[in-house]
Amino acid sequence: ILVVNNTDSQSRLIVNKPNLWEPCGMNHTHPCTEESYLYTLKVTLYDDASPMNILDIYRIPHVGIRTIRLTDSKFLVNERPFYFHGANAHEDSDIRGKGFDRVILAKHFNLYGWLHGNAFRTSHYPYADEFYAMANRFGIAIIGETPAVGLKKDQFVSQATLDHHKQVVTEMISRDRNHPSVLMWSLANEPESGDPEAKGYFSALA
């Protein structure tokens, strides 16, 4: 239980011996056909003048606890090596059209269980919130990608493009950073990274 008593308090919540969220397939107790461990965070707001009077209750679902660390040669999740094995797609289908669709979402995750995939890149834009909720639930690691596709020299020297790209990255990270499934960010899809101007552009972006 964590207690704060003013409007600008900052505190650290410590969970002793937590059940860790992990991508599917990392051990035999969590194959890709079973759900990952998630908590529901409950926040209760009390009346300071009357502590027994509850003003509001907030419940935040799909809270996962996990760690990420990089070494020279390994990507570690919960201090164990993790290998990204998966694919990418678009939020569309040949029959139902473009955009988010719950039926197609369920189909994709069922296919992933069949393929024993454990990772997904959101090509070429951040997906709907429902997608991340499913990834949290079923243990699919996400590489979140910005809608920057095929950047070329003209864009690398454009301050307007860089400013907008920074805004998009900030918005994406701000929205999705608390999903346990999001393990990595992709700044762009297939840019001309060999261009001499690309290094300065992406250094400023990162």
CA–CA dist 142, 153 (Å, integer): 29
For 118-171, the DSSP string reads: -EEE-TTS---HHHHHHHHHHT-EEEEE-S-BS--HHHHT-HHHHHHHHHHHHH
- Cis bond upstream, residue 165 (ω within 30): no
> Of 34, 35, 171, 190, which one is the catalytic site residue?
190
For the chain, 206 residues long, give each residue's pLDDT as a single digit of tens: 566 666 666 777 888 999 999 998 887 656 676 789 999 998 888 887 887 889 899 998 889 999 999 999 999 999 999 999 998 888 888 888 888 889 889 988 888 888 888 999 999 999 999 999 999 999 999 999 999 999 999 999 999 999 999 999 999 999 999 999 999 999 999 999 999 999 999 999 98
- Superfamily of domain 68-205 in CATH is Glycosidases (3.20.20.80)
Query: What residue ranges do the domains of the chain occupy?
Result: 68-205
pLDDT of residue 89: 82
Is 190 part of the annotated catalytic residue set?
yes
CA–CA dist 106, 117 (Å, integer): 15
